[in-house]
Amino acid sequence: MAETSANPFGEFRSQCSRLLSDALGDVLPEVAPPSLTLDIPPIPQFGELSSSICFELAKKIHVSPLEIAKQIEKKAEEKTRLFPLIESVKAERPGYVNLYADLPELASLTFRSAVALDSEYGYVKSRRHERVIVEHTSANPIHPIHIGHARNSVLGDSLARILEARGHRVSRHYYIDDVGRQSAIAAYGYKLLGRPKPEGKPDHYIGAIYSIMSCMLEIHRLKREIDEARIYAREAGELQRLQRELDDWVAVAAELKEKFPSLFDRLLDEFSREEAPELEVNRMLREYERGRKETRELIREISQICIEGFKQTLARCGISIDSWDWESTFVWNGDVSRCLEALRRTPFVFREAGVLELDAEAVAERFGLKGEFGVREDQVIPSLTLVRADGTSLYTTRDIAYSIWKFRRADRVINVIGMEQKLSQLQLRLALCALGYVDEARRLVHFAYNLVRLPGRRISGRRGRYVTFDELIEEAVARAYDEVSKRSPHLSEEEKRRISETVGVGAVKYALVETDPLKPVVFTWDRVLNFERNSAPYIQYSHARACSILRRTGGAESADFKLLKESIEREIIISVSRFPEIFVEAAESLKPHLIADYLNSLADKFNNFYASLPVMRAEPQGLRDARIMMVDAVRITIRNALKLLGIEAPERM
């Protein structure tokens, strides 16, 4: 057996599979065996792996599962000497075959592999390497990245890191949605101010302009509609509804004036001089899509200002973008028009009330894609509006051209987009199918995620009510500083600040990735910055603890893994050996939260070990050295797993 392995538990699993196959061939040579699967038993007493194959065989040969299991046990026990990672095979009621690892052998293989592979331990490479585009964040360039976008950023970055470690060539893309009405509103306010130099962080400044302008436009619209309702004596209920909506926006205006007094007054002064502000916004929207030079320069300018702020935020969190893709590019270069023309030539496009529609239901039926795309057969898929009555395109229409562009550069495309966009992403895939890109549609993945909730806070970008990613990080770092100062008062001020930055940023990122993406995240500080359980600081502290132990040790040349007999030691051996398998599952199923779950579990085991068993004072020398190697393997594993989530592993805390 090799001294090192990229996947120690995988080696054990492979040996178990070969042993069972050999034993089955001896016991039932005339019977074609069903597919052999090996599962992790629910409790350690049942071994490291278990097979239920005897239940399937019993149906074929009409013998009890337990009897077959006992025969397999007998034959397998005769062969275990040929499989060094297997200690024994046991038949268990009512018919399971349980396999037990030779723990000293598995420990030796695991710990030596971790030390030898070091920064690559756990990162099992795929046999087939792909070009993958992960598009994430893609927040509109009109206000700062807020807590909802932050989950997108962290999940997208983790996916990219995991897939890259798997051996794929990954490119991280940001889709700049600069064509929509929101960009026109922000640009209109920026123009009214005379295109000033941003005050403070650029994206926050643009966000303030956008919120104030949205508020003023809504108040202007509602006042006009109320006046019309009174003139034409419309129903009292409608008038009351409009008045309630106006009252809400007036309250928002008061909030914004208190938050941005000078900017609010300057914008209000300029806005009050405008005769038809809504028409001006609509004009800018149309002109930008048509590529009119003056408007194009204005909206690009304000978008670039906002993006500069995004780059600062993402850089602080260790999140990088390889390609910033402008939505407007695909309009101006004719790609969107060519897609529309191609769609018009298909039998799936029709007009309704002057609006161009794609019959998504007909596309799904024609290609038989409902089941494959996760749609019930009795579910009717709504049509996709391609072009408005005024001739301007919609976001999903432009996304068709963008998706084709991405597939010229990638084998697989992963769009990290909120789960509320499920229908739009389905319609996008069906539009690609209508154009003949069926294989590409199958390789387009909508990585959906749920909302982030802050108890007691309501988020609305238009109303300026949001918690920015920057604010979240600042508060996390400040809270981390207090905790680090309390726990390690001997550290220099510079060390405290550096560690607090690492811990604060890591705490926020872990909190946004550790929950299943389809479940909402409830963000509370007592959980996010808990140094005692399930948080990045808890895991980082475990890594720092391992580093502290290793700083006090010499070599570990005399390790005797037969002396690792305690149950917690067994748990750590199995856990570290399984990291490569967990990594592969996370990469293949696109589930970064599996890495977070694994990290928390390993940290729990390591801290239990630390609290109950000595390392430096362990006797004899062989036990001491074996535990030192185990601590080193835990350190390497925690560091490598944290790296997949974009979280630093500090050596001191």
Give the tens place of pLDDT for each residue, 118-155: 999 999 999 999 999 999 999 999 999 999 899 999 99
For domain 493-644, the CATH superfamily is: Isoleucyl-tRNA Synthetase; Domain 1 (1.10.730.10)
What's the pLDDT at 235? 78
The fold of 131-179+326-453 is Rossmann fold (3.40.50)
What's the pLDDT at 458? 61
What are phi and psi for residue 307, nearest 5 degrees?
Answer: -65, -35
Residue written as tokens 């084998």?
411
Q: Are 277 and 217 in contact (CB under 8 A)?
A: yes
pLDDT tens-place string over residues 556-580: 788 999 999 999 999 999 999 999 9
Q: Are 387 and 393 in contact (CB under 8 A)?
A: yes
CATH architecture of the region 8-101: 2-Layer Sandwich (3.30)
Residues of the chain with pLDDT under 70: 1-2, 233, 456-464
What's the pLDDT at 390? 76
What's the pLDDT at 557? 81
Give residue 214's identity as a one-letter amino acid code: S
**Domain boundaries along the sequence of the chain:** 8-101, 131-179+326-453, 181-317, 493-644
The residues, any chain, with a CB within 8 Å of residue 543's CB and separated by 6 or more, are 635, 638, 639, 642, 649, 650, 651
The pTM (predicted TM-score) of the whole model is 0.94
Which tokens go with 542? 């475990």
What's the pLDDT at 466? 77
Residue written as tokens 């293949």?
588
What's the pLDDT at 132? 98
What separation in angstroms does the CA of 346 have from each of 330, 389, 433?
21, 20, 11
The 3-class secondary structure across 607-640, one letter per residue, is: HHHHHHCCCCCCCCHHHHHHHHHHHHHHHHHHHH
**CB neighbours (10 Å) of residue 368?**
8
What's the pLDDT at 456? 66
What separation in angstroms does the CA of 492 have from each of 147, 496, 505, 537, 652?
32, 6, 20, 19, 12
